[in-house]
A and B are shown apart, each in its own frame.
Chain A
Amino acid sequence: MKFFTLFIFLSLQAPLMVIGDRRLIESTCKATPSYNLCLSTLLSNPKSSSGDVSDLGLIMVGATKVKATLAIQRIKTLYRSHPELRRSLNECAQVYMAVVKADVPSAVQALDGGQPKFAEDGMADTAVEAESCERSFSGRGLKSPLTQMNTDIKNVANVARAIIRMLL
């Protein structure tokens, strides 16, 4: 019985680290434009528990990538179902390809390598690209089917940017 208890104790060591580093996560998120978004994104990733600020930045960059990738998938679907939106969707595809293929990998390399300013540039650009996608509809008087996604991506990128700035 004691042995069993001890196994429980051993196996719970990692979750206890989460508790420990929640302070870092909270204090980091307080310095971003969206505390709740920051907190929920970081806490949903178990790797945030053992991370430093650079790791938290990487997790947030990763979240940006996930959202941009989802947006691209959505764009592909809409492209088939809504031919009248194709010009705008094409623009959105291009800007989010830039996010996924250039901004994100460049930011990851920059955070890994200790040149956070280039990671900041990548996330600043991501926010601008999200705005561009939204404008590709509004600029043509079309209702954007991607408003929520664009806003989400912009917000996550701005949180990522704020975290990265702490590393400068």
Chain B
Amino acid sequence: MHMNLLDMNTFFFRSTFPLILLTLFHNIMTSSSDLENPLAASYAPLPDGELPAGNNPTIRRPRKAALFLVVSAFLVLALVALIAGNGPVLRKELNTEVAPPSTTSTPEKVTPLSRGVEKGVSEKSFRPLLGADNSYPWSSNMLDWQRTAFHFQPKKNWMNDPNGPVFYKGWYHLFYQYHPDAPVWGKIVWGHAVSKDLINWRHLPIAMETDQWYDEQGVWTGSATILPDGQLVVLYTGSTNESVQVQNLAYPADPSDPLLIKWVKYPGNPVLVPPPGIDTKDFRDPTTAWKTPEGKWRITIGSKINKTGISLVYDTEDFKTFELLDGLLHAVPGTGMWECVDFYPVSKQNENGLDTSVDGPGVKHVVKASMDDDRNDYYAIGTYDAHKGKWTPDNPTLDVGIGLRYDYGIYYASKTFYDQSKQRRVLWSWIKETDTEASDINKGWASLMGVPRTIVLDKKTQSNIIQWPVEEINRLRTNMTVFKNIVVEAGSIVPLSIPAASQLDIVAEFEIDEKTVNRLNGDDVGYDCVKNGGAAERGALGPFGFSVLATEGLKEHTPVYFYVAKGVDGNLQTFFCADQARSSTANDVDKSIYGSIVPVLKGEKLSMRILVDHSIVESFAQEGRTCITSRVYPTKTINNNARLFLFNNATATKVTASINVWQMNSAHI
């Protein structure tokens, strides 16, 4: 990219005579015109050795002088070229002049001119430095406990985005961004696992390696499409040998193999390169394809122009040649790069999911994008115009990237697929670690997949989706404890006696005291889970909920709770939050508070479901209208020390709770 002047000089001496002439002529032209423009002049090599170290536009030479100098330079160069031929000796001399001995403290290895030497991480790197005396503050007991029991993860090392999820010949396939050498992001390949039930998994060999020039720097995120004849194709982003983001086609080597172990990359790859106007590093994560009214296939790919997040649209008939549509699927100013765009229909009337190609008056369309800027997955519901290839949000104030999120905790780079065996749309998502890299190295692994969720349109509100853990997860339930109509007075806490508390499925309904609510004056003080001090800050009608992964005495605990606020108009607003501030006595883990508003309709009870699985807690309010995924790294609340509490930190209302708590078996992963 940058041909610096050292290279230019070298180039002069190596090139043939006419080329020197041409280049110099070019220099004459640019030098003279640059002199008219002080700003440009500061970037151009002026023929003046006395320029001070700074942009000084006042020092100028008349054009004639410049011309004279450059013409002289030409003569010198010509002479030198004649005498020195290829001129290695002279080049060396110039070298010493142009690049003085480095005074920098930056090592050669990581500086731009020698990229690649030091990048990448290998497992061999992590040998202990000072011998056997391992006194890392996180004991192996604590770190071992963090490994989950029913969340998908590879045996070891780094994972990120879910890729190409699909149901094929009786098996659920999950591919994923995988760095097989270390528990940190690096040169990514496609990991692969299969399942009969989305819960128990069998790990398979790496499906795609970085073995081609067009994916040499990484086999990045992609999606699968099932063709009408049952064939499977995958489009994925490759980062080329020059780190250009391109789209590639791959397909199973043996379509009759239900495990899809071997994959073939199309010899004509890449099938798509960044179009004009799009940066070579802003073109990634193709979607599953869907049918156009003309019978072609259509995909969308996220990108950005300046700070506007956009979604490019391509039509294809064979997945090998593509036509870029003039317009965009959608664009939202100020949202930055859109990663992992997802696009799918949801039924307005029915509870089943829909194949990605379904369109018509009975459906709405969801656009989801993962915001590179804030690392959250945002979605919006709207209307798709198949003829124009354009989507419009129902509510522009809740557009993609500025409105609703799938999840208000840790949840990124998600992707849905249509499960034709159960007529449902299923959502996968990458859940990263929020502890330190040093801990991840000690654990030997980093990242989980969230429990897969079904997605449907909320038929009651019509303005949000409902996400719910797939029904198969219920098969892990065992040993249920029931707590019926427990009254929790304002400002009190109730220990719930259960056999163990590291692997739980908690389902609960709450009622606040109607008389208290009615007699309260409303106020116009807005509430915000994140800004309002967490579970310790008390209001008249909240917070109340559960403290999970809690110690006796609450030295460590993670509250998941509702907070109800009564407005001046007398209406209630309900918030759903998770507070990690006291989740661990360790100081090197993230302790954010998460949450958002949750719609509660007239006559509805407040309800929540919490899946606790060691270092991950997934919480769902009002049957999945608002969701929060937390990562938690306690130091004391592990193994037999973990407890579950019910609490009501409200000042005015009592709360009545009915609760089912199941122990969760471990899945085979």
List residues of A whose CB falls within 8 A of some B CB: 2-3, 5-14, 16-23, 44-47, 50-52, 54-55, 58-59, 61-63, 65-66, 72, 75-76, 79, 86-87, 89-91, 93-95, 97-99, 101-106, 108-110, 112-118, 121-122, 125, 128-129, 131-132, 135-136, 168
Nearest-neighbour CB distance to chain A for B212, whole angstroms, equals 15
Nearest-neighbour CB distance to chain A for B580, whole angstroms, equals 15
Instruction: Please determine whether B94 and A168 come into contact, CB atoms closer than 8 angstroms.
Output: no
Instruction: Please determine whether B112 and A6 come into contact, CB atoms closer than 8 angstroms.
Output: no
Instruction: Please determine whether A91 and B135 come into contact, CB atoms closer than 8 angstroms.
Output: yes
Interface string of B99-119 (1 = CB under 8 A from A): 110111111011111011011
* 21 chain-A/chain-B pairs, Cβ below 8 angstroms: A6-B76, A11-B98, A14-B4, A19-B54, A22-B55, A47-B104, A54-B112, A72-B129, A75-B130, A94-B442, A97-B129, A102-B183, A109-B119, A109-B120, A109-B217, A113-B281, A114-B239, A125-B437, A128-B436, A132-B438, A132-B587
Interface string of B16-53 (1 = CB under 8 A from A): 00000000000000000000000000111111110101
Nearest-neighbour CB distance to chain B for A148, whole angstroms, equals 16
B72 located at the interface, meaning its Cβ lies under 8 Å from any Cβ of chain A in the complex = yes
B183 — nearest CB in chain A belongs to which residue? A102
B218: chain A residues at CB < 8 Å are 113, 115
Contact of A128 among B45, B136, B186, B588 (CB under 8 A): B588
Instruction: Summarize B's interface: helix, strand, loop or mixed.
Output: loop
Instruction: Please determine whether B186 and A90 come into contact, CB atoms closer than 8 angstroms.
Output: no
Instruction: Please determine whether B185 and A118 come into contact, CB atoms closer than 8 angstroms.
Output: yes
Instruction: Please determine whether B136 and A90 come into contact, CB atoms closer than 8 angstroms.
Output: yes
Instruction: Summarize A's interface: helix, strand, loop or mixed.
Output: helix
State in angstroms the CA–CA spacing of A66 and B53 once bound together: 27
State in angstroms the CA–CA spacing of A74 and B1 once bound together: 39
Contact of B436 among A51, A115, A125 (CB under 8 A): A125
Residues 598 to 649 of chain B near chain A (Cβ within 8 Å): none
State in angstroms the CA–CA spacing of A52 and B128 once bound together: 37
A116: chain B residues at CB < 8 Å are 372
A75: chain B residues at CB < 8 Å are 129-130
A10: chain B residues at CB < 8 Å are 9, 73, 94
B441 located at the interface, meaning its Cβ lies under 8 Å from any Cβ of chain A in the complex = yes
Q: Known contacts being A10-B9, A104-B110, A129-B438, is A112 close to B104, with CB within 8 Å?
A: no
Residues 440 to 456 of chain B near chain A (Cβ within 8 Å): 440-442
List residues of B whose CB falls within 8 A of some A CB: 1-2, 4-6, 8-9, 42-49, 51, 53-55, 69, 72-73, 76, 94, 97-100, 102-107, 109-113, 115-116, 118-121, 125-126, 128-130, 133-137, 182-187, 217-218, 239, 243, 245, 280-282, 336-337, 372-373, 375, 436-438, 440-442, 587-588
Instruction: Please determine whether A9 and B281 come into contact, CB atoms closer than 8 angstroms.
Output: no
State in angstroms the CA–CA spacing of A121 and B98 once bound together: 36
Instruction: Please determine whether A19 and B53 come into contact, CB atoms closer than 8 angstroms.
Output: yes
Most-contacted residue by chain A among B4, B51, B137, B245 (CB, 10 A): B137
Q: Known contacts being A114-B280, A129-B436, is A46 close to B587, with CB within 8 Å?
A: no
State in angstroms the CA–CA spacing of A46 and B46 once bound together: 19
Nearest-neighbour CB distance to chain B for A160, whole angstroms, equals 11
Contact of B184 among A45, A102, A132 (CB under 8 A): A102
Contact of A91 among B76, B94, B136, B217 (CB under 8 A): B136
Instruction: Please determine whether A90 and B112 come into contact, CB atoms closer than 8 angstroms.
Output: no
Instruction: Please determine whether A44 and B104 come into contact, CB atoms closer than 8 angstroms.
Output: yes
Contact of A17 among B4, B106, B337 (CB under 8 A): B4
Instruction: Please determine whether A59 and B99 come into contact, CB atoms closer than 8 angstroms.
Output: no
Nearest-neighbour CB distance to chain A for B425, whole angstroms, equals 27
State in angstroms the CA–CA spacing of A7 and B49 once bound together: 10
Instruction: Please determine whether B217 and A112 come into contact, CB atoms closer than 8 angstroms.
Output: yes
Instruction: Please determine whether A58 and B217 come into contact, CB atoms closer than 8 angstroms.
Output: no
A135: chain B residues at CB < 8 Å are 587-588
A93 — nearest CB in chain B belongs to which residue? B129
Contact of B76 among A3, A20, A110 (CB under 8 A): A3
Q: Known contacts being A12-B49, A65-B110, is A90 close to B135, with CB within 8 Å?
A: yes
Q: Known contacts being A112-B115, A112-B116, A129-B438, is A50 close to B2, with CB within 8 Å?
A: yes
Question: Other CB < 8 Å A-B pairs besides A101-B125, A114-B243, A121-B185, 5 of them?
Answer: A58-B115, A97-B126, A103-B184, A113-B239, A116-B372
State in angstroms the CA–CA spacing of A102 and B446 once bound together: 12
Instruction: Please determine whether A113 and B243 come into contact, CB atoms closer than 8 angstroms.
Output: yes
A72: chain B residues at CB < 8 Å are 129
Instruction: Please determine whether B98 and A14 come into contact, CB atoms closer than 8 angstroms.
Output: yes
A50: chain B residues at CB < 8 Å are 2, 4
Most-contacted residue by chain B among A12, A59, A116 (CB, 10 A): A12
A121 — nearest CB in chain B belongs to which residue? B185
Instruction: Please determine whether B104 and A102 come into contact, CB atoms closer than 8 angstroms.
Output: no
B245 — nearest CB in chain A belongs to which residue? A114
Contact of B104 among A5, A46, A129 (CB under 8 A): A46
State in angstroms the CA–CA spacing of A56 and B113 once bound together: 12
